[in-house]
Amino acid sequence: MIKKTAAELGTLIANREVSAVEVAREHLDRIAAVDDRVHAFLHVDTEGALAAAEAVDAKIAAGEKLGPLAGVPIAVKDVLATRGVPTTAGSKILEGWRPPYDATLVERLRAAGTVMLGKTNMDEFAMGSSTEYSAYGPTFNPWDLARIPGGSGGGSAAALAAYEAPLSIGTDTGGSIRQPGAVTGTVGAKPTYGGTSRYGLLAFSSSLDTPGPCARTVEDTALLHAVIAGHDQRDSTSIDAPVPDVVGAARLGATGDLTGVKVGLVREFSGEGAEPGVMSAFRETVEALTKLGAEVVEVSCPHFLYALPAYYLIAPSECSSNLARYDGVRFGLRVGDDGNRSLEEVMSATREAGFGPEVKRRIIIGTYALSSGYYDAYYGQAQKVRTLITRDFTAAFEQVDVLVSPTTPFVAFELGSRTSDPYQMYLADLFTIPTNLYGGPAISVPCGLSEGLPVGFQVMAPILGDDRMYRVAAAVESAVGTFAPPAL
């Protein structure tokens, strides 16, 4: 049962061939059996999951018609507020915090009848590319437990690859859904910015953060996307527009027919900086697309090469502002309040104890970039680069329907091999960051193996062109298949 797709599980539950409680128990048993080695979860909500499953079974027994994912288990990245359930963003500064409300995405998941298994591990406040910066220890890649599962949403991706959950939720600020998907052989989609609500998402970089769906197949990812997407008046950046038919597009793509689709190969991402095995799998997949009827042309996006430095000024600047709220006064950790210290001393002690090294590094960078005398030279210039990248995308999509590239320059690296070199760590997001700066949708779908480890194929589409993205991704999946890790 644990190896069935979410779509298959939903159908079995709806037809009463299996109960939602049975499905939930099997996945909870799987978590109990393997998560001591994978560490995908920070909190497993056994009682809540079984209660939700029982409620679905009762509704089905009463004859209610439910959605396609009713009764299907899901894991949620621990950066989304979940009422009554520990929500830490992977940080000691929020250890033990139980929100009094649900994020909009969590509300929608509950309304759709999905069964929340628990909260997944992540780099602290979504700042990292390996899930090694979690305050609660790293997550391990089910393909090779000595390697990273990507980041910041490594827990959400690892839970899928380890068959602990058929669905999961991630967030993508610079690649934190797609990059873990690539290195774990799973599917991860970043929707159009504003296409999914940020209400209840613990903010890292408000102009970049995008919640999105993760699964083991493109169709499952699209089904989850359809559940969580849509306008939310509580989020000022939410787009008030119809959700593209992502499920229909995924099913169309699964037929393997891309006749009439024009695919742009990003010249600047066509080889430099990527491992040979990654590029080999990527090129073979591009050839497969041509056999499915797609027209492939090379497209130049010259400013993509400046995306990484621009991102690492914009994102830290916004995190410097957003994380100022963790002051030891209003909620969360409070250190040094012995009655003899000033408020400023308590705040300083709390932030020193509560934040990890990567969060501190980015707060310092961001605060400096925003400081008097440096704002225009750093943050202002980075925003100008962002505009140029947006223009590159706009020009490219006048020529092609989608753009493609490898998702990551390399396969999963060994734990501990890059923590001492932040720049090498940041390179994991080299190919994913441009889309975040632009705001359009992008997806990573497995396209092969290099040295026995998964390689991801990235499909990028114009703003609100999420359906195009799913069609091409599903066609890739139809051509190359899915990939399963060795048995744990």
pLDDT digits (tens, 9 = 90+) for 52-61: 999 999 999 9
Where do we find the tokens 């590094």?
361
Task: Convert the pLDDT of each residue in 299-315 to its tens digit.
Answer: 999 999 999 999 999 99
What is the pLDDT at residue 396? Answer: 98
Q: Quick check: pTM over 0.85?
A: yes
The one-letter amino acid code at 153 reads G
pLDDT confidence band for 271 (50 / 70 / 90): low
Please give the positions annotated as active site: 77, 152, 176
User: What is the distance in angstroms between the CA of the first residue and the CA of the last residue of the chain?
Assistant: 16
Task: Convert the pLDDT of each residue in 28-55 to its tens digit.
Answer: 999 999 999 999 999 999 999 999 999 9
Element (H, E) at 122: none
The pair of structure tokens assigned to 485 is 């890790």
Helix and strand numbers (H, E) in the chain are 16, 11
Q: Is pLDDT of 438 > 90?
A: yes
Q: What is the mean pLDDT of the chain?
A: 96
111 falls within a domain: yes
The DSSP string of 343-365 is HHHHHHHHHHHHS-HHHHHHHHH
User: Cα 205 to the chain's mean position, in Å?
Assistant: 14
93 falls within a domain: yes
CA of 314: how far to CAs of 11, 318, 319, in Å? 44, 6, 9
241 falls within a domain: yes
3-class secondary-structure state, position 265: strand
Q: Is pLDDT of 273 > 80?
A: no
Where do we find the tokens 């128990």?
25
What is the pLDDT at residue 339? Answer: 80
Averaged pLDDT for residues 121-134: 98
Task: Convert the pLDDT of each residue in 151-165 to its tens digit.
Answer: 999 999 999 999 999
Averaged pLDDT for residues 90-116: 97
* Percent of residues, the chain, with pLDDT higher than 70: 100
What is the pLDDT at residue 340? Answer: 84
CATH of the domain at 222: 3.90.1300.10
Averaged pLDDT for residues 340-357: 91
CA of 458: how far to CAs of 66, 176, 285, 425, 446, in Å? 33, 13, 11, 19, 9
Averaged pLDDT for residues 189-199: 98
Residue range of the domain that includes 251: 6-255
The pair of structure tokens assigned to 139 is 């997550």
What is the pLDDT at residue 272? Answer: 67
386 falls within a domain: no
20 falls within a domain: yes
pLDDT confidence band for 253 (50 / 70 / 90): very high
99 falls within a domain: yes
434 falls within a domain: no
- 366 burial via Cβ count (<10 Å: 0-12, 13-18, 19+): buried
Averaged pLDDT for residues 160-173: 98
- Rounded Cα distance, 346 and 328, in Å: 7
Q: Taking Cα atoms as reference points, which of 217, 130, 126, 210 lies closest to residue 167?
A: 217
Q: What's the number of domains the chain is made of?
A: 1
What is the pLDDT at residue 395? Answer: 98
152 falls within a domain: yes
* Percent of residues, the chain, with pLDDT higher than 90: 93
